[in-house]
Structure 1
Amino acid sequence: MHLFDKEKIYGDRLLAVDDRDRNVTYDQLDSFSGELYRKVGGKKLIFILCENTIESLSGYLGCLKTGIVPLMLDSHIHPSLLNGLIREYHPAFLYIPKTCIEKIEDSEVIWQFGGYCLCERNEKMPPALYCELSLLLTTSGSTGSPKLVRQSSWNIDANGKSIACYLEIDANERPITTLPMNYTYGLSVFNSHVLMGCTLLLTTYGVLEPDFWGFARKKRATSLAGVPYTYQILKRIGFMDMDLPDLKTMTQAGGKMPPRLHKEFALYAKRTNRKLIVMYGQTEATARMGYLPADKTLEKCGSMGIAIPGGRFWLENEQGNEIIEPDIPGELVYQGKNVTLGYACCKDDLIKQDEWKGVLHTGDIASRDSEGYYYITGRKKRFIKVSGSRVNLDEVERLLKEQYEGIDFACVGTDDNLTIFMDQLILDGGEEIIEYLYQVTGIGNRTAAVKCVDQIPKNESGKTLYKELETTADNRIQSK
């Protein structure tokens, strides 16, 4: 795997430092990987319960280096969901924090490394694994869905090299962790920086905690990554007034940032001589597919940019024909070596070879301007019909968030039935919101309702969990 081609050169260079002042070198990773392989005994399936720690990072990279195939899961996954996945995929081993031992069944601890345990299962029906299969990630956050994305070594290598290229990463970079390791965006930060011999700053603190910023300053963090929700929090806690002398780069992915917020951080980056790079990706493409160059972040505010080095975008209409003219929406299609092998829904799928052949229909609706920059406008399946006209639910959310700054919205619905969820209690029965929506879109009060919730449910990457909205809803309000 090319990710580790220069590991011997990096030698005693620090691979990672954590918030407890522990560290690990590239040489030590090599030793750990050899021991892990001896314990596991070959190319087998292992579940890793992830945390942003040295033990978790070592387990992940040790698997990639030796050909062991990990499924990356949140360490906070509910035991019933974890054991459901175990029953579906029959892993031979689990690599987990000691604090998670009580979550697992029928396993024996055979090795301990710091705060982690390698547990062997008495598995009589292990899955057959495709020779090029290197990594498994979930498609649905913490829901426990058995649907996984199958990634190969060449997918990971290609995406890591491309990201390192357009972000201009060199060995002096020191990214701080702000995203979970089981999330494709978080992993892409690790892969692209390990490739270049950087030092990762690992912390379990969140950006709302003072200790996070103390660690960032002490260890001279040069970059941070976030989803749109991260940047909403950063604005709220006064990030733009913080003293962070070593910070050079901010990246954003995991959904479209509201244009107003995008512009605020772009102006901040320009004022402080930093780079803001907005990116676009999916787990199905290993991580990144598109990026907006830092020098275009104001001029093309709201755009997800252009294809990454080595990739290509185009748009297709409903008949599957390529759209040539600018400013016409269609489904965004991507081609590149980072497009993954396909999905798995059960253990028998893990032997499958490359099903997608480097082409991914993203399911996102986008338009392209006359200069070749792409703008995401919604999801292909996030449409309803109101009075016979198509309504883009993502676009309704965008309109409301821009009109009512500081309030989070989420929209769901069926034909002629739009429900708007918001995270603040309102006193006028939602009439102002319904009236605004009618004036802008023509959607009237007979087809729209407002519901208040304590908060809009999100997954670990900050994306809205639409299926959970109904169970969290209270105080249903409908315009009269």
Structure 2
Amino acid sequence: MFDFSSYFSNTAFITSKGELYTYKNVSILSEELGKYIQPHSLIFILCSNTIGSVLGYLSSFKVNAVPLLLSKEIDKSLLSEFIRKYSPTYLWLPDEMAHEYCDKEFIFSSHGYSLMRFGKKDVDLPDNLALLLTTSGSTGSPKLVRLSKENILENAKSIAQYLDIDQNERAITSLPMHYSYGLSVINSHLISGATILLTEDSYIQRDFWVFAREQRVTSFSGVPFTYEILKKMKFWNRNLPTLRTLTQAGGKLSNELIEYFAKNAKLRDVNFYVMYGQTEATARMSYLPCQYTIEKIGSIGQAIPGGKFEIWTDMVIVEESNIIGELVYKGRNVSLGYAECFNDLLRGDDNKGTLYTGDLVYKDNDGFYYIAGRKKRFLKLFGNRISLDYTEDLLKKQFNIDVACVGTDDKMIIYTTDLEQKDNIINFLVVTLKLNRIVFETRYLKNIPRSETGKVLYAELPIK
């Protein structure tokens, strides 16, 4: 799928151990591994931000096998459920985990990863199926998103175009590669002949930034939680003279943080991009050009090159500005559909290039889009339709605390990590939302549960 021939001599990857791999090296190594993988078979890859993990990903494409990308830290019971439901032929996993499957046939080992055979039966997955990813909100569910080669390439090309990625770029793996946003960083740089700095270190570790500085990092990507932490870490005091680009996606960043990073970025001639996407659209659907970050603060921008936005209410397209409706995206990066068992992998293109995002949005008079909330993240309290996402934003802005809101149409439950603000939160919401205090309840948590990409795990917050 990826054609590296035009930049064989370019450096594709530099690892935190100091290893350097050209595109020619990567092509040869992935071809070698591909000899052991049956075409059109299903291969589970337990991912890490390492060269071994990347080689498994690229080798699968070489032979038209279909990889499912999972975290190497995946819960063992959940992995067993994936295996039971999807019956993979192979598992590509870190060497240190191979002993857990000593009853399976060992086939090949390379760069810290081992290939194990799981299935004996021949499979022949469809030609248009290229990749499987877990849905962004289902860390505990075996529901998958089915992606085609066209989906991956079109989205990567579009991202490379609007971020102006060329062969001189050096992106660092600040996000997991099994996460669609993290994978899109890798894909968009691979098709551009750029360099990817591979590290397992977290951005909260000193070694991460030493590696970034020594290897002349040019771009960094993060989710909202990442940027919350970076501000606390006094990010702009770090010595990163080659940094040119910051990107943010994976959820709504507060306007205060957008302003903070946008203004500081401009002072240092760094481009700060706010973006929007879903795994169901491979990764990216929109971006806000950095020159509008302050003027259109809070906007997700406009559709990416090759994509189109529509707003629907009651199955009718809304043309007027400032009318809230469901955001519908159309483009060649829209996934084929979902899968919840092996037989679903044999399905064709269910979506036909159209994705109903589930996000409620409006557009301003200049055609810039703003998210109002999720269709399913609303409560009807005393007949009043209240957005849980909007309420969270209000509380974070007012109290500068970490909160998560859930509930039913009888009561909103506000989880907070600040015990001292519990009563103040209710008093504030009573005044701001003009509702009786009996519909609010605050509960204390030491930490709000989050996925490894920083998204709140609402399903883990009791509503009773």
Normalized against structure 2, the TM-score is what? 0.97
Residue among 218, 237, 242 paired with 1:246 = 242
Offset, 1:143: 3.2
| Structure 1 range deviating more: 440-449 or 178-187 | 440-449
Paired letter, 1:293: P
1:435 matched to 2:427? The reply is: yes
Residue among 167, 171, 176 paired with 2:167 = 171
- Could you tell me whether the CA contact under 8 Å between 2:87 and 2:119 is conserved in 1? no
Offset, 1:13: 1.7
Q: Which SS does the other structure have where 1:435 is aligned?
A: helix
Paired letter, 1:418: M
1:341 matched to 2:333? The reply is: no
How many angstroms apart in 1 are the aligned matches of 2:120 and 2:452? 31
- Could you tell me whether the CA contact under 8 Å between 1:91 and 1:123 is conserved in 2? no
How many angstroms apart in 2 are the aligned matches of 1:102 and 1:468? 32
1:44 matched to 2:41? The reply is: yes
Runs of 4+ off more than 6 Å:
none
Q: Which SS does the other structure have where 1:35 is aligned?
A: helix
Structure 1: stretches of 5+ with no match in the other structure: none
1:193 matched to 2:186? The reply is: no
1:315 matched to 2:306? The reply is: no
Offset, 1:297: 0.7
1:423 matched to 2:417? The reply is: yes
Residue among 8, 14, 19 paired with 1:11 = 8
- Could you tell me whether the CA contact under 8 Å between 2:88 and 2:119 is conserved in 1? no
Query: CA 1:451–1:104 in structure 2 vs 1: closer, same or farther (change >3 Å)?
Result: farther
Q: Equivalent residue for 1:123?
A: 120
Q: Which SS does the other structure have where 1:470 is aligned?
A: coil
Q: Which SS does the other structure have where 1:81 is aligned?
A: helix
- Could you tell me whether the CA contact under 8 Å between 2:136 and 2:279 is conserved in 1? no
1:446 matched to 2:415? The reply is: no
Q: Which SS does the other structure have where 1:17 is aligned?
A: strand
Residue among 369, 378, 382 paired with 2:373 = 378
- Could you tell me whether the CA contact under 8 Å between 2:272 and 2:290 is conserved in 1? yes
Q: Equivalent residue for 1:364?
A: 359
How many angstroms apart in 2 are the aligned matches of 1:234 and 1:144? 28
Offset, 1:417: 0.7
Offset, 1:141: 5.9
Residue among 260, 280, 287 paired with 2:283 = 287
Offset, 1:140: 4.7
Offset, 1:106: 4.0
Paired letter, 1:446: I
- Could you tell me whether the CA contact under 8 Å between 1:162 and 1:308 is conserved in 2? yes
Q: Equivalent residue for 2:271?
A: 275
Offset, 1:362: 0.1
- Map Cα deviations across residues 84-107 of structure 1 (whole Å, 9 max, x no partner): 111110100000001222444742
- Map Cα deviations across residues 253-283 of structure 1 (whole Å, 9 max, x no partner): 0001011111110111111111000000000
1:462 matched to 2:454? The reply is: yes
Paired letter, 1:191: N
Q: Equivalent residue for 2:407?
A: 413
How many angstroms apart in 2 are the aligned matches of 1:102 and 1:313? 49
Q: Which SS does the other structure have where 1:101 is aligned?
A: helix
**Identity over the aligned pairs, expressed in percent?**
48
- Could you tell me whether the CA contact under 8 Å between 2:42 and 2:89 is conserved in 1? yes
Q: Which SS does the other structure have where 2:40 is aligned?
A: coil
- Map Cα deviations across residues 302-326 of structure 1 (whole Å, 9 max, x no partner): 1110000000001111x11111111
Query: CA 1:140–1:264 in structure 2 vs 1: closer, same or farther (change >3 Å)?
Result: closer
Normalized against structure 1, the TM-score is what? 0.94
Offset, 1:24: 1.6
- Map Cα deviations across residues 95-120 of structure 1 (whole Å, 9 max, x no partner): 00012224447422211102110111
Q: Equivalent residue for 1:70?
A: 67
- Map Cα deviations across residues 289-346 of structure 1 (whole Å, 9 max, x no partner): 00000111111111110000000001111x1111111111111100000001000010
Q: Equivalent residue for 2:93?
A: 96
Offset, 1:128: 4.2
1:218 matched to 2:214? The reply is: yes
CA RMSD of aligned residues (A): 1.5
Query: CA 1:24–1:418 in structure 2 vs 1: closer, same or farther (change >3 Å)?
Result: same
Residue among 9, 28, 45 paired with 2:25 = 28
Aligned ranges for residues 102-181 of structure 1 at < 5 Å? 102-104=99-101, 106-124=103-121, 127-140=123-136, 143-181=139-177
Paired letter, 2:61: L
Offset, 1:206: 0.7
Paired letter, 1:17: I
- Could you tell me whether the CA contact under 8 Å between 2:37 and 2:60 is conserved in 1? no
How many angstroms apart in 2 are the aligned matches of 1:390 and 1:332? 19
Q: Equivalent residue for 2:204?
A: 208
- Could you tell me whether the CA contact under 8 Å between 1:366 and 1:375 is conserved in 2? yes
Structure 2: stretches of 5+ with no match in the other structure: none
- Could you tell me whether the CA contact under 8 Å between 1:417 and 1:447 is conserved in 2? yes
- Could you tell me whether the CA contact under 8 Å between 2:151 and 2:333 is conserved in 1? yes
How many angstroms apart in 1 are the aligned matches of 2:305 and 2:136? 28
Q: Which SS does the other structure have where 1:72 is aligned?
A: strand
- Could you tell me whether the CA contact under 8 Å between 1:419 and 1:450 is conserved in 2? yes
1:400 matched to 2:402? The reply is: no
- Could you tell me whether the CA contact under 8 Å between 2:37 and 2:63 is conserved in 1? no
Q: Which SS does the other structure have where 2:310 is aligned?
A: strand
Paired letter, 1:253: A
Query: CA 1:117–1:271 in structure 2 vs 1: closer, same or farther (change >3 Å)?
Result: same
How many angstroms apart in 2 are the aligned matches of 1:286 and 1:104? 31
